[in-house]
Amino acid sequence: MDKTNSQTVAKESGMRSETENALTVVWEGEEYRAEAEALAAHIGAPVSGTRGEGLMLLRNADGLSLVGYGMTYRGDFEGMLPRISGGRLFHEMLVHIAKTKEEHPTAVDATAGMGEDSFLLAAYGYEVTLFERDPVIAALLADALRRAERHPVLGPIAARMHLVEGDSVAALPALPEPPDLVYLDPMFPERKKSGLIGKKLQLIQKLERPCGEEDALFAAAMAAHPKKLVVKRPLKGPELAGAKPEYSIKGKAIRYDCFRVVK
Ligand SMILES: C[S@@+](CC[C@H](N)C(=O)[O-])C[C@H]1O[C@@H](n2cnc3c(N)ncnc32)[C@H](O)[C@@H]1O
């Protein structure tokens, strides 16, 4: 197959094209080899026992990291500890918005990314189902969750976070029960230039594809019939799918648009 054809196949099958983001899965330590090989087969990437020059997913004793462009990124919920300790969780805008009287509230994060927003919801007490369609991001998140599960404080929170690798547009209308909350934080182009994200996430962005299906995502979220739908937007960004929220809560750089779906 020539290069053009292989890129077409990669795009059609949801895999990354070779030139967009050549990614190699690398293992360091024979005990991680089988896992690296399985991951490489899953994402359709080459696998190696030696580091190379380009972007790589590195499996070693530290866990799974994305390495390249002079940066290393590994999901790490320990970094979230200051945000949930000493009563600070209740200062989080998202937690304020997601407040509920339900005893066992359920949420669906339909655009999980590295799960930081889901983590806040789970720390508050939500049982969260996280959908992430990008297999590389899903693998990094799964690894971060595995490590969090072994931590005395993070463990019970991570236990309330249930990762599903897949497309939430298909999954949301088919949920067995309507969740109390659906949360959407799709990628928006403005964010790339806004400096809203830390340097570490710049590496993750090399993998992300723009969300070109905002209308479908919004319609799928509504079709799940949650009590509340919350959408994260850039402060001055357009509404998702042009839908007027019932109310919005604004921070310095972002806002949350809220819809009460089932009253
Ligand atoms: C901006 S990031 C979310 C960041 C996340 N809120 C956090 O706290 O880490 C958006 C993510 O949604 C994922 N995504 C976009 N559309 C999706 C869909 N239809 N189903 C599942 N994941 C999707 C992208 O792959 C990307 O990882």
Each residue's pLDDT tens digit, 85-102? 999 999 999 999 999 999
State the Cα–Cα distance between residues 110 and 132, nearest whole angstrom.
7
pLDDT in tens, 169-220: 999 999 999 999 999 999 765 444 444 455 556 777 766 666 668 999 999 9
pLDDT at 120 over 80: yes
**Cβ(138) – ligand 1 distance below 6 Å:** no
pLDDT at 157 over 50: yes
Q: What atom in ligand 1 is closest to the CA of residue 109?
A: 6
Please state, for a pLDDT cut of 70, what percent of the chain lies above it. 84
Q: Which pLDDT score is estimated for 7? A: 31
Where in the chain is CATH 3.40.50.150?
Answer: 77-260
Query: How far is ligand 1, taken at its centre, from the CA of residue 46, in Å?
Result: 25
Query: How far is ligand 1, taken at its centre, from the CA of residue 2, in Å?
Result: 32
0.95 surpassed by pTM: no
Q: 55-60 and 63-68: which strand pairing?
A: antiparallel
With the most atoms of ligand 1 within 8 angstroms of its CB, the residue from 161, 187, 197, 204 to mutate is: 187
Query: How far is ligand 1, taken at its centre, from the CA of residue 247, in Å?
Result: 23
| CA 13 vs CA 7, 9, 16, 88, 171: distances in Å | 10, 6, 9, 43, 18
Q: What atom in ligand 1 is closest to the CA of residue 169?
A: 19
Q: Let me know: does 83 contact 120? Beta carbons within 8 Å.
A: yes
**Cβ(226) – ligand 1 distance below 6 Å:** no
- Residues linked to residue 249 through DSSP beta bridges, in sequence order: 256
Torsional class of 195: left (φ above 0), alpha (ψ -120 to 50), beta (otherwise): left
Q: Whose CA is nearest to atom 17 of ligand 1?
A: 111
Torsional class of 70: left (φ above 0), alpha (ψ -120 to 50), beta (otherwise): left
Q: Whose CA is nearest to atom 12 of ligand 1?
A: 111
Q: What atom in ligand 1 is closest to the CA of residue 118?
A: 8
Mean pLDDT estimate for the chain: 88
Q: Whose CA is nearest to atom 4 of ligand 1?
A: 113
Q: What atom in ligand 1 is closest to the CA of residue 114?
A: 9
**Cβ(167) – ligand 1 distance below 6 Å:** yes
Average pLDDT over residues 93-120: 97
**Cβ(75) – ligand 1 distance below 6 Å:** no
Q: Among 3.30.1360.200, 1.10.1740.10, 3.30.420.40, 3.40.50.150, what is the CATH number of 77-260?
A: 3.40.50.150
Average pLDDT over residues 130-159: 97
**Cβ(214) – ligand 1 distance below 6 Å:** no
